[in-house]
């Protein structure tokens, strides 16, 4: 086990991050998309730092297959664009770069500052970037060249202990972005990470904030849940934590009024989980978006 050091406000040398080496983690570069590795290699060759970040690292550690490989770097969007001709800059406030390889799109972002909160729009350092990520299990950085995981917030051990802990203060995490409540129950189900009583209580207290989220974004999150192999577990968590009424209001009303409907609904979700887990949707060439009572 290695450490990254920095200095505090008094100039005293302190440990900033734990660095897990290849012998200490289960991540293999064989499980990382080769185009993602190519992006990181080209950024490094150009003199920048670059890492696989977030959910992909979490999935690689727990043995799931990542759907996306997000990359973070200290290169600004304009510099990333100059390195990759097959890219485009997106975003109005905080600009990101999409690097395109055929039908695959890789999101490459610049380290982001948390000076204006977790949803600020200024570039920053890796130390700032990590503190604006939602939960510790999503705040890990993987260096495929050194084959090391860089952990500033204890996320690696939280994954191993199956614990879901927020990085951002509970006073602000859901106020700044209510969709994080849906992500919390999704991570709890997909990684078997236990939420503390305090976190669950905060989600219930904050559930009404989802009413402020645009219908298009709610629909996007719902489709991600329905196409997840743990859909039934996630929806159960949503019902138990008073979130489901903001995902499917009509269905929630029917479920709350009639236990038989709830039973039928959950049974069909479990069948959908089985279909998704056997990759039927890929063989059929379509996605399964709707639940039938």
Q: pLDDT tens for residues 151-178?
A: 999 999 999 999 999 999 999 999 999 9
Q: Identify the pLDDT of residue 290.
A: 46
Q: Which of 59, 70, 151, 158 is catalytic?
A: 70
Q: Are 35 and 46 in contact (CB under 8 A)?
A: no
Distance CA 8, CA 16 (A): 10
Identify the burial level of 27 via C-beta atoms within 10 angstroms of its C-beta, where 0-12 means exposed, 13-18 middle and 19 or more buried.
buried
| Arithmetic mean of pLDDT, 31-40 | 97
pTM for the predicted model, two decimal places: 0.88
Respond yes or no: is residue 59 known to be catalytic. Answer: no
Q: Which of 60, 91, 61, 66 is closest to 77 using CA atoms? A: 91
Respond yes or no: is residue 68 known to be catalytic. Answer: yes
| Arithmetic mean of pLDDT, 99-110 | 96
Q: Which of 59, 129, 134, 151 is catalytic?
A: 134
Residue 293 has pLDDT above 60, yes or no: no
Respond yes or no: is residue 70 known to be catalytic. Answer: yes
Distance CA 58, CA 27 (A): 10
The mean of the pLDDT values for the chain is 91
Residue with the larger pLDDT of the pair 281 and 51: 51
Q: Identify the pLDDT of residue 279.
A: 56
Q: Is the dihedral of CA 36, 183, 172, 19 positive or negative?
A: negative
Tens digits of residue pLDDT in 210-259: 999 999 999 999 998 988 888 999 999 999 999 999 999 999 999 988 88
Residue with tokens 């207290």: 205
Q: Are 50 and 67 in contact (CB under 8 A)?
A: no
Residue 284 has pLDDT above 80, yes or no: no
Distance CA 114, CA 125 (A): 9
Residue 291 has pLDDT above 50, yes or no: no
Q: Which of 33, 35, 68, 74 is catalytic?
A: 68
């Amino acid at each position: 086990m290695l450490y990254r050091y920095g200095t505090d406000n008094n100039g005293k040398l302190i440990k900033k991050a734990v660095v897990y080496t290849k012998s200490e983690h289960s991540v293999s570069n064989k499980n990382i998309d080769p185009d993602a590795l190519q992006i990181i290699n080209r950024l490094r060759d150009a003199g920048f730092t670059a890492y696989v970040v977030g959910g992909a690292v979490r999935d690689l550690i727990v043995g799931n297959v990542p759907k996306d490989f997000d990359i973070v770097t200290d290169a600004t969007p304009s510099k990333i664009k100059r390195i990759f001709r097959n890219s485009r800059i997106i975003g109005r406030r905080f600009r990101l770069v999409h690097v395109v390889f055929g039908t695959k799109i890789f999101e490459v972002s610049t380290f982001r500052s948390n000076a204006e909160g977790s949803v600020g729009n200024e570039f920053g350092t890796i130390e700032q970037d990590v503190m604006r990520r939602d939960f510790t299990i999503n705040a890990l950085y993987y260096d495929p060249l050194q084959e090391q995981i860089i952990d500033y917030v204890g996320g690696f051990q939280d994954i191993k202990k199956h614990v879901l802990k927020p990085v951002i203060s509970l006073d602000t995490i859901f106020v700044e972005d209510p969709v994080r409540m849906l992500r919390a129950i999704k991570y709890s189900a997909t990684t078997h990470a236990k939420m503390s009583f305090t976190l669950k209580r905060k989600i219930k207290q904050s559930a009404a904030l989802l009413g402020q989220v645009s219908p298009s974004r709610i629909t996007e999150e719902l489709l991600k849940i329905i196409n997840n192999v743990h859909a039934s577990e996630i929806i159960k968590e949503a019902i138990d934590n008073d979130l489901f009424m903001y995902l499917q209001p009509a269905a929630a009303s029917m479920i709350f009024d009639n236990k038989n409907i709830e039973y039928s609904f959950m049974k069909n979700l479990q069948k959908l989980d089985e279909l998704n887990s056997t990759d039927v949707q890929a063989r059929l060439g379509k996605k399964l978006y709707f639940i039938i009572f």
